[in-house]
Structure 1
Amino acid sequence: MAGRLKAPTGRYGGKTAEERQAERRRRFLDAALQLFGDTPGFRNTTVAALSEAAGLSTRQFYEEFRTLEDVLAALHLQVNEWAEQAVVAAVAEADTLPLPERAAAIFRAYAANVTGDPRRIRITFVEIIGVSPRMEEQRLARRAGWVELVCAEAGAAVARGEAAPRDYRLPATAFIGAVNGLLHDWSSGWVDASLDEVVEELVRQLLAILRPVGWEG
């Protein structure tokens, strides 16, 4: 299909065209979270099935999206945005805490948000993998955003004299890989530990990066 169908304009039922469009989009994304993040999964979902789950028509689908991959892309960004909002709030609340407590608060907020709904984990770590070069680019771009966040927090810790001065881009990239891998394995039941134990392990790894053996602040 060359492009989306043109959505109707004007006010109807007390809502503007923009409000109706936003509601339709939300309903499609809510349905996608259920179908992509649980059963049958992204690869086994059809436009008709998604539209039915959303309580909308296929015509309305094509008014909002071109393909199911567009829906997956939007949902992946939404899931990441929810997690980022939780982290930003935790960063602000933990602003005056010492580094160990601050790191624990931030990662506890992230882990709680991501693992609070198994469907979000599946979207982030499973369904997006191997879909297309476009989706891989988006996945890596979002990972780069998390790397930047870790680097920014590390830089702030260095400025406070709580961490060793160094270029943190490489260790931050490795750490984000560890975070993703461990949370995925824990959510899949491959790691026999509580979520608090998982967070504590991640915090220990982060502190070992920020405060290597031999460094004295």
Structure 2
Amino acid sequence: MAGRLRAPTGRYGGRSAEERQAERRRRFLDAALQLFGDSPGYRSTTVAALSEAAGLSTRQFYEEFRTLEDVLADLHLKVNDWAEEAVLAAAADTEGLAIEDRATAIFRSYAGNVTADPRRIRITFVEIVGVSPRLEEQRLARRARWVDFICAEAQAAAERGEAAPRDYRVAATAFIGSVNGLIHDWSAGWVPATLDEVVDELVRQLLGILRPGGWSPTAP
């Protein structure tokens, strides 16, 4: 139809339209990690400021996103994906090990990933909170994935005789809250400990949940 704009489909500079779009989106998310995760923070960032930090125009921003909240939503998912990938890799590498060794490796991978960049911690535990009902739903949904992971690990440990057999849903939910709080407080400098000491404490807490007083592991 005459007068209707269509998205470019050919190659330009050796890259397809899809590749150029992915590059623009990556640049916006990289800029958002800096501005949302450091200074001035999500609530004080404007579309113009984000576009300038990305080296792109506001027109290009609105070609990729509707609002800054959309950017924060994507960034929150990406940060969680990075942590989840690290945890799943550690879980795969420790298949068959005792629960103590497996939990230590998993938590060390998680803690190392999220604390490697303080901006990721701020995105996950600070900037995402209370923004909107939509983002609260997303935040709790991603948290539920971590609860599911702990429940699955606990159930597998119980089947191996390394943990008491019971429904771990409530305990896992409480434990994830403890993990998030401790990691955030440690990163903020409020916990006088090394990261290894933080991981060791999380493992002790988890083992205390899996092995209540009066219960002992059974032979496989």
> Could you say whether these structures have the same fold, taking a TM-score greater than 0.5 normalized by the shorter chain as the test?
yes
Q: Report the TM-score when normalising by structure 2.
A: 0.95
1:19 aligns with 2:25: no
Counterpart position of 1:90: 90
Q: How does 1:111-150 map to 2 (within 5 A)?
A: 111-150=111-150
SS of 1:186 mapped into structure 2: helix
Counterpart position of 2:37: 37
Query: What is the deviation of 1:172?
Result: 0.2
Q: Return the alpha-carbon distance in structure 2 between the equivalents of residues 7 and 147 of structure 1.
A: 42
Counterpart position of 1:170: 170
Q: Return the alpha-carbon distance in structure 2 between the equivalents of residues 38 and 161 of structure 1.
A: 45
Aligned length: 213
In structure 2, the CA distance between the partners of 1:112 and 1:150, relative to structure 1 (3 Å rule), is: same
String of CA shifts for 1:114-172, please: whole Å, max 9, x gaps. Answer: 01100000000000111111111110000000000001111111111111100010000
Q: Return the alpha-carbon distance in structure 2 between the equivalents of residues 7 and 173 of structure 1.
A: 45
Q: Report the TM-score when normalising by structure 1.
A: 0.96
Q: Return the letter of the residue paired with 1:38.
A: D
Q: Return the letter of the residue paired with 2:207.
A: L
Q: Which structure 1 segments of 5+ residues have no match?
A: none
In structure 2, the CA distance between the partners of 1:54 and 1:7, relative to structure 1 (3 Å rule), is: farther
SS of 1:103 mapped into structure 2: helix
Q: Return the alpha-carbon distance in structure 2 between the equivalents of residues 54 and 112 of structure 1.
A: 27
1:204 aligns with 2:209: no
Q: Return the letter of the residue paired with 2:88.
A: V
1:192 aligns with 2:192: yes
Q: Return the alpha-carbon distance in structure 1 between the equivalents of residues 154 and 100 of structure 2.
A: 12
Q: After the TM superposition, which parts of structure 1 deviate over 6 Å for at least 4 consecutive aligned residues?
A: none
Q: Return the letter of the residue paired with 1:149.
A: F
Larger-Rg structure = 2
* Identity fraction in percent: 79
Question: RMSD of the alignment, in Å?
Answer: 1.1
String of CA shifts for 1:175-200, please: whole Å, max 9, x gaps. Answer: 00000001111111111111111110
Counterpart position of 1:158: 158
Q: How does 1:32-71 map to 2 (within 5 A)?
A: 32-71=32-71
Structure 1 contact 95–102 (Cα < 8 Å) conserved: yes
Q: Return the letter of the residue paired with 2:19.
A: E
